[in-house]
Each structure stands twice: as C-alpha cells, then as structure tokens.
Amino acid sequence: MATPTSPVQLRCNYFENPLGVHDATPRLSWRLATGDRRGARQTAYRIVVSTARSGKADLWDSGRVRSDATTQVAYGGKPLASHQRAWWKVESWDEKNRRSESTPSFWEAGLLARTEWRGSWIGAALAGGPETGAPSPYLRTIFNVGKKVASARLFATALGLYEFHLNGERVGSDVFTPGWTEYKKRVQYQSYDVTSLLRPGANAAGAVLGDGWYCGHLGWRERNYYGERPQLLAQLVLTFTDGSTQTIVTDGAWKTSFGPIVESDMIHGEAHDARRELRGWDEPGYDDSAWLPVTKFADPAIEISPTLGPLVRATQELKPIAPPVKIDLWPAPIWVFDMGQNMVGRVRLHVRGKAGQVVRLRFAEVINKDGSLYTENLRAARQTDHYILRGDPRGETWESKFTFHGFRYVELNGHADDLLPDAITGVVLHSDTPRTGTFSCSDPLINQLQSNIDWGQRGNFLEVPTDCPQRNERLGWMGDAQVFSRTAAWNRDVAGFFNKWQRDISDAQGAEGQMPSVAPHIKGVEQDGGPAWADAAAICPWTMYLCYADQALLATHFDSLTRFIDYMEDQSKGLIRSHPDTKVWHGYGDWLALDGSGNVFGNTPKDLIGTAMFAYSTSLVAKMARVLKRTKEAVHYERLAARIRQAYQDRFLTADGLAAGLTQTSYVLTLSFDLAPVALRPKLMRELVRDIEARANKLTTGFVGASYLPHVLSRFGRADIAYKLLHQKAWPSWLYAVTQGATTIWERWDGWTKENGFQDKGMNSFNHYAYGAIGSWLYAVVAGVDIDPATPGFKRLVLAPQPGGELTSARGTLQSPHGQITSAWKISAGRFEWEVTVPANTTASARFPVPGKAKISEGRTPLARAAGLSAVKSSVSAVTCELSAGHYKFTATWKAA
Ligand code: BGC
C-alpha cells in the first residue's frame, strides 16, 4: 500500500527547534517520509508560520508553491522580535497530488541587538600569570519570583568558559561554552529554555568560570593570549502568565568565591580539591556571607553573536578494555588503563580514600615497551589532572570541567591498593555532529581504517577543526581541514560546524585579503597561510555547498573570498603564486610528503602547488559567482582561472607530459584541477602510474597530494592502482598504521615503524585526521555514492561503484538532507548484486560496472522493464540508467576482470 508523502524532521538552519536565531530569513528544511515508494516526490509545498502553536499564519503563509524543494527554503515572513518564537509547519503534496502535513516545530529569535545586553561582564579580581593559572571563580546571585512563570530564557556567554546553574541544576549539557571564536572580534552566546528550573519565591542563579582558550594556554603560547581573567555576561528573561516580564542580569550585586577548581587549562589539565567543594552554592538557601562582591569589567566592545554550529557534548562513554596494569614505583604504585581506543575527552574518576589524598591522572596516546606512558610527543602539554579526595567513605566521583585530553592510556598515580572496579570511565567529547555515513567492506583492515577516520574526526572536530587534540597545538589548521572536509561531510552532519568555522575564517582574514594558516588566527602563525592552507577559505564552503546545497554560506562569504583571490593575484608574479622571486610566505609545500629526503615540505615545487591551488580556488569562486547569479564576477574569475592555467602550463608542464618536480603530487594536482590540456592528460597519468609502480605500489604524497591521489587514479581509469595503494600494508600507506594497531589516523605515514621506532617527538601526533581524507574515495568510488555538482545537496545522486582490488563487497550509507542513501554491492558466484536506496524526492544516475551484454535484473524483472528506471544505455564497459526514488535490488552476471 502506498504511503502518502509526509514532511518530517523539520529543521531551521540545520537545527531542530533552535533558540537564539538571528537570521531574518532562516532556511527551513524537511524530509519526506514515504517508505520505499518508487518515484515518491513532492510536487508542491506550503509553509505556515504563526506566533502560536496552532495559530493561523500571522507571520507567514508561503501559499501553495509548485516546487519539489524540501531544503534551504528561506523564510519570507515578518521579522521576529528578540526572543520571539515562530511556530511553523509544512504541507506537502506528492506526485499524485495527495496532501500531508507535518507536526509543528519552532525556532526562536535570540537577543538581536547588542544594546539589549543589559548586564555587566563580571568575574573575580585574581588573575594568573603567563604560566600560572588562577582558581576558577564561582559566581552567584539570588532573586525572587513573585508571579507564575510562563516561560524563561537564559542568554549567556563568557570570555573564557562558563557552566551555568539555576537552583541546584546545571543548565543544558553543552561543554566548553560559549565555544572558541576570534575573541578579539566576537564571542558567541547561548540561549536556553530554563522555564522548568524556576520556582516560586527565592531562586539562585550561578556560574563557574574556566580559563579555556581565552586566558589559558593556547597552542604553544603562554597563558592570557586574549585576556587575563574569565568573565561572564548573562541575562535571564522571565515572562509571566500575565504577560509582564522580569530580567535578571549579571551585575555588581553578584557575589564570588573560589571553590574546588584550583586550576584548569585546556592544554595542561585540571586540578580539583574536593575538600573545597561548595555544597549547595547554586541553591537559594546557601550561606554566601563569606563570598566577595564580583569585579565588574569594561565591556570588551566585541560582537556578541549567535551560535552557528553544534556545541561540544559528551557523546559516548568507554570502559577500559582490560584490568589496569600495575607498575610498582616508590612511594606508591601506578596503574595504566587501556581504553582500547585513542579518544578525546576526559575521564570520570571513581575512587575511595582519605581526605587530602592526591590522585594524579596522566594521559597518553601510546605506551612504551615497558607499559609506561609515551608522552614525549605531547611536547609541553602536561595533559595531567589532579584530584584531591574529600575522604568520603562511600567513594567519590569526579569529572573535569574545563579541560580535555587526547589519549588511549590513562595513568593513575597516588592511590593505595584498593582501586574500585569502575575507577576510570572515558567520556568522549566533541562538537556534536551526528553520524550520517557508514562505510564497510569485505576487508576488516579497511573497516578499521574507516573507524580510525571517524574517531579522528570526532576527536578533532572540537569547536574548530583542529590538527590534533593532544600536544600543545590543537589549532584550526586550514590545510588539514580543507583536504578532509569532503570526508567529514560524509561521516557526520558538519553543515553547522563549517558554517561556524567559515565565520572564524572570515574574522581571521588579513587586511589585504590574505587568509591565514589557522582560524582563529594566532600570532606567530603565518597570516597568509599560503597554498593549500589559505585555500581552505574557498574549498570548505564550496564543499559544504555541494553536500548541503548551502547557498547562503556562499553568499555570506562571497565578498571575503573575492578579496582573497584578488590578494593572491596581487602577490603573484605573472600569475605564479609563491614565485621564488616574491617575498610572501611560500607555504607548507606538500606537508610531510616522503619525497623530500627528510624535508617536511616534500619535493613538489612550492610555486607549482601555489599556482595549482590559486587556479583551483579561483575556479571555485567563479562557480560560486554562477550559483549566486553574479555574472560579472563569474566572467571575471573564469577568465582569471583560464589565465592562471595557461601560466601554469607554461611554467610547469612539458609537451611530453612531465610536471615540474616529477613528484606524485605534481601530477595529482595537475590532473585533479584540470590544469593540463586534455591531450596531455594520458601522458601525465602514465608518469604518475610509472612513479607509483616504480616504488612497488607506494605513495610519496603529503597532506596536499594524498587526498586527491586515489580520486585522480580512478577518474582517469586506473582504479586498479588506487586499490593497490589502498591495500598496501607496508609503509607509507593507509593500512600500515592499521596493521600496527592504530585506532586513529596518524600525522605521519611513519609515526612509528618497526625499523625506526617513533618519529621525531617534536611532531608526531597519533590523532591527526588529514590522511583520513581517503574516506571520501571509499564512499564515492568504492561504495559508489557521489554528488551531482549541478544539483547539489544529494538532490540528484551519482551511483557508480567501481569494485576492484581484493574486495568482494562494499556498503556505503548516508543520511543525506533528503533521507537515507544506500549503495551496497557484493560479488559472488559469478553475480554482481547491488542494493540501492534513492531517497524520496531525489533521482539518481546509476552506472553498473558490468559490460553492456551482462544480464541485469531488478528483483525478478529484467532491467528494461523494471519500475522506476529510465534511459537505460549500454556500452562495452558499463550499463547506465536513471533511477527515481525507491529501493532497488539489482543482480547482474559478472565476469572477473
Ligand atoms: C600541524 C599541521 C599543520 C602544519 C602546517 C603542524 O604543526 O600539526 O597539521 O597543517 O603544522 O604545516
């Protein structure tokens, strides 16, 4: 029985029922729940927006719009006032003109004007020094509620980190709020519905502050990079049932005390003295007579902006995989716990002991042969927590608040012999980007690789895409994020995350238009990030546009991107970027490539990488201009891109198909960005393949080349070579680390080798996602699910698996903006079986990797007569067709190549 199409999963700017929206025209999206009905699609919609849950359309009625759009539909109604709620629902008509309706959802405006923030920035007077931290201030106030509360909203932010409490309860479950932004320009705030936390009569509001990125250690720098003390700004707005309101703000009436958090630092760790805990500090009846008045700080005069991306949350807990290993040391033994997974977050400690006893926790990604922690690669990051027991005979439990660590192993030191069985639990923290993709295949090592990629992503997508989560670095390195962004968007829903980070990038843009190496930018790191790093500014938003059809992201940042391209043009010499004659930073080369005889930049000429990336970014900005219908700019940047290509050909390519530097990366970039004339491409491919084969099917590429390498090989007909690289188990290869027990992606191909042991301790992270960029190839080519760039956001899919190598099956699934996509194939007994799901309201072009004469059926029906198919075409090597929405099970005769 056919199910009518019904709109579900209503989202506003990627979030379900968000608060704190500033956008005057937020974008509305929904999915169609249709079961697997073939050809299910929407033919029209109507959006009704009202001030009341079941009210009439007093804010907006789109009217019946004949359209199949279900994502990114801009709200076109009356502007909302600050903290006004808009209720919305969707009516949708399907292909048979049957109407169905969603249940109502809402979004709510935030505090829209800076001037509406009526409170003061408050905190404690004590400040730490460049190396010494100060204890975390606790802040509180009390207020009276005399009438019946209809609704209450908390708007809060901090310079530093805050955790807000109301009447003994923690508000929300977000971690490290308000998040990390370019604090010199802006800080984010959060909005919470706190209606249920208020009581009639006396109420208490309070917050604990931490140093965080704002005044703790940042990267390898000393403390106090942005400021000296954490400060809170908050506003609690109560609306009573009679319509009147009451506003409580942070002001001089608040009081402060230090409590148990003696020190906290994102890089070094946290120290908690449980004897100093302030029981009931967030309750109205608490005696705060010993507390001091807060210090009021000058308004920092920066923007207070809405939260655009997902905040950090605890998303999973891990138990050690074996009993801890005891190492006898004087004066007390230490225990080493193995979490079984290199993870990012904190631990929950459960201990029993005497008051004043100190437990020290140290964290590391790997261990030495004798089982002790290997911490040299953490550089100066202490990654150490201290817990001082209060001596509760029933045992005591503690989790840090304002720090995180990258670790698989936890060392517990300073505890007598009676360890409790659940002494350590790992709490996984990251920006809450729900999983959208899965990939699996017949090779367990590749499945472990996929798991390592996803864990690397989770650990490093923490407020900004960081390079690594453990050493004293943890910065938003642009090159790493750029190569990985497409893979990231497969694994998880990162639309909001990259929207937020793009704002950080624009904030970090230099006055002349240059884009940095890291965003947020910090002093000492190049302001012009140079090739492949700065270019993240153009590549990431374009990737998000392809994956989520997010035009608004392009529109918001378009001007900043044209300034970036113009800057590169200015700095180039004859359109050669990073020309040796120019004075600007020539970039990080093909970072960590193995063709450079120990040189971290590799051997690919920096001006070749520079000019290739310049051409690529320029072509992306030209495409953005087309999408945004800015024809004048489109023509300008298309022409510029063509001129850069010409300059590239003149300088770097020979008529014989050699590319300067003769490195794999030189060939890969030339081919990937279409920089060579069409006729030259086969010759370039031959050189690339020759180089790989001459090295017994090994790669030499670094951060820049590695991500494009497999795509280039399969695109130009040599998927067989890409599979050889994928299956390669000797280093350098993707699987080498896997065979050595890695559970995340390593920074270097040779982070540890049997021959040489650990690589240079100064730069050897075991959780660096950059080489995980192979993930996009696993999904797009092995499983065979890709985007049609002309119809982005998976509105039209390209399904074209290229089975190969030693694989006998592969399965990729994706929760796309339109619903679940599946492509799963299996080869057995002379048959190729292919299961495909095309979500409702989308279409797909499908390519069967079988010769035209193969017999193909769908279920029991021969292909030509199967329902939902059209335009079936056969060639010597493949059969192609168009698919409408639905679930299909194809079988084809298969002859091994
Ligand atoms: C980071 C990298 C980054 C690089 C720039 C390193 O310290 O960890 O991932 O991209 O510097 O070359």
Reported as a single tens digit per residue, the pLDDT across 455-479 is 999 999 999 999 999 999 999 999 9
Q: Directed axis angle between helix 703-715 and helix 719-727, to 10°?
A: 140
* CA 492 / ligand 1 centre spacing (Å): 23
**For the chain, what percent of residues have pLDDT higher than 70?**
99
Mutate to test the pocket of ligand 1, among 480, 526, 535, 748 (most ligand atoms within 8 A of CB): 480
Q: Rounded to the nearest 10 degrees, how much is the dihedral formed by the CA atoms of 103, 104, 107, 108?
A: -150
- The pLDDT of residue 1: 41
Spell out a b/e string for 757-768, using b for 16 or more CB atoms within 10 Å of the CB, else e: ebbeeebbbbbb
Token pair for residue 566?
A: 């113009």
Please report which confidence band the pLDDT of residue 55 belongs to, taking 50, 70 and 90 as the band edges: confident
* CA 644 / ligand 1 centre spacing (Å): 27
CB-side exposure of 428: number of CA atoms within 13 Å? 21
How confident is the model over 425-429, as a mean pLDDT? 98
Please report which confidence band the pLDDT of residue 414 belongs to, taking 50, 70 and 90 as the band edges: confident
* CA 484 / ligand 1 centre spacing (Å): 14
In this predicted structure, the answer to whether residue 2 has a pLDDT above a threshold of 50 is no
- Which atom of ligand 1 is found nearest the CA of 478? 10
- Which atom of ligand 1 is found nearest the CA of 468? 8
698, 689 Cβ separation under 8 angstroms? no
Query: Which residues, including other chains, have CB under 8 Å from residue 58's CB and lie 6 or more apart?
Result: 50, 51
In this predicted structure, the answer to whether residue 331 has a pLDDT above a threshold of 90 is no
- The pLDDT of residue 633: 98
Residue 568: enclosing H or E segment and its boundaries?
A: helix 551-571
User: Residue 276 burial (CB < 10 Å; 0-12/13-18/19+)?
Assistant: middle
Which residue's CA is the nearest one to ligand 1's atom 2?
467
Q: Is the dihedral of CA 296, 297, 298, 299 positive or negative?
A: negative
Which residue's CA is the nearest one to ligand 1's atom 9?
467
Identify which has the larger pLDDT, 3 or 208.
Answer: 208
* CA 301 / ligand 1 centre spacing (Å): 32
- The pLDDT of residue 769: 96
CA atoms of 881 and 872, how far apart (whole Å): 4
CA atoms of 485 and 490, how far apart (whole Å): 9
* CA 612 / ligand 1 centre spacing (Å): 20
Ligand 1 and 461: CB distance under 6 A = no
Considering the candidates 95, 365, 463, 473, report the single residue annotated as catalytic.
Answer: 473
Task: Give residue-wise pLDDT tens across range 560-592.
Answer: 999 999 999 999 999 999 999 998 899 999 999
CA atoms of 667 and 585, how far apart (whole Å): 23
How confident is the model over 382-386, as a mean pLDDT? 97
In this predicted structure, the answer to whether residue 598 has a pLDDT above a threshold of 90 is no
How confident is the model over 293-300, as a mean pLDDT? 97
Query: Which residues, including other chains, have CB under 8 Å from residue 771's CB and lie 6 or more apart?
Result: 703, 706, 734, 745, 746, 749
Task: Give residue-wise pLDDT tens across range 841-884.
Answer: 999 999 999 999 999 999 999 998 999 999 999 999 899 999 99
Ligand 1 and 588: CB distance under 6 A = yes
* Catalytic residue status for 747: yes
* CA 466 / ligand 1 centre spacing (Å): 10
In this predicted structure, the answer to whether residue 416 has a pLDDT above a threshold of 80 is no
Which residue's CA is the nearest one to ligand 1's atom 8?
467
Mutate to test the pocket of ligand 1, among 221, 460, 467 (most ligand atoms within 8 A of CB): 467
Ligand 1 and 468: CB distance under 6 A = yes
- Which atom of ligand 1 is found nearest the CA of 477? 10
> What is the average pLDDT value for the chain, to the nearest integer?
96
Please report which confidence band the pLDDT of residue 596 belongs to, taking 50, 70 and 90 as the band edges: confident
Q: What is the CA radius of gyration of the chain?
A: 28
How confident is the model over 527-538, as a mean pLDDT? 96
Task: Give residue-wise pLDDT tens across range 82-112.
Answer: 999 999 999 999 999 999 999 999 999 999 9
- The H-assigned helical ranges of 628-674 are 631-652, 664-672
Token pair for residue 513?
A: 């238009």
Identify which has the larger pLDDT, 159 or 864.
Answer: 159
826 beta partners? 809, 833
- The pLDDT of residue 330: 81
Query: Which residues, including other chains, have CB under 8 Å from residue 514's CB and lie 6 or more apart?
Result: 527, 528, 529, 534, 564, 567
CA atoms of 213 and 153, how far apart (whole Å): 26
Q: Is the dihedral of CA 615, 621, 626, 627 positive or negative?
A: positive
Count CB-CB contacts under 10 A for residue 393. 8
Rounded to the nearest angstrom, the gap between the alpha carbon of residue 510 and the centroid of all alpha carbons in its chain is 24
Rounded to the nearest angstrom, the gap between the alpha carbon of residue 61 and the centroid of all alpha carbons in its chain is 35
Ligand 1 and 467: CB distance under 6 A = yes
SS3 state of residue 725: helix
In this predicted structure, the answer to whether residue 827 has a pLDDT above a threshold of 60 is yes
- Distances in Å between the Cα of 447 and the Cα atoms of 13, 207, 430 are 33, 44, 22
pTM of the model: 0.97
- Which atom of ligand 1 is found nearest the CA of 747? 9
- The pLDDT of residue 408: 98
* CA 479 / ligand 1 centre spacing (Å): 8
| HEC profile of 762-826 | HHCCCCCHHHHHHHHHHHHHHHCEEECCCCCCCCEEEECCCCCCCCCEEEEEEEECCEEEEEEEE
- The pLDDT of residue 526: 84
CA atoms of 347 and 168, how far apart (whole Å): 23
* Catalytic residue status for 277: no
Considering the candidates 95, 526, 687, 747, report the single residue annotated as catalytic.
Answer: 747
Strands 819-828 and 869-874: unpaired
CA atoms of 125 and 386, how far apart (whole Å): 24
In this predicted structure, the answer to whether residue 417 has a pLDDT above a threshold of 80 is no
In this predicted structure, the answer to whether residue 689 has a pLDDT above a threshold of 90 is yes
- Which atom of ligand 1 is found nearest the CA of 517? 5
SS3 state of residue 544: helix
CA atoms of 283 and 168, how far apart (whole Å): 5
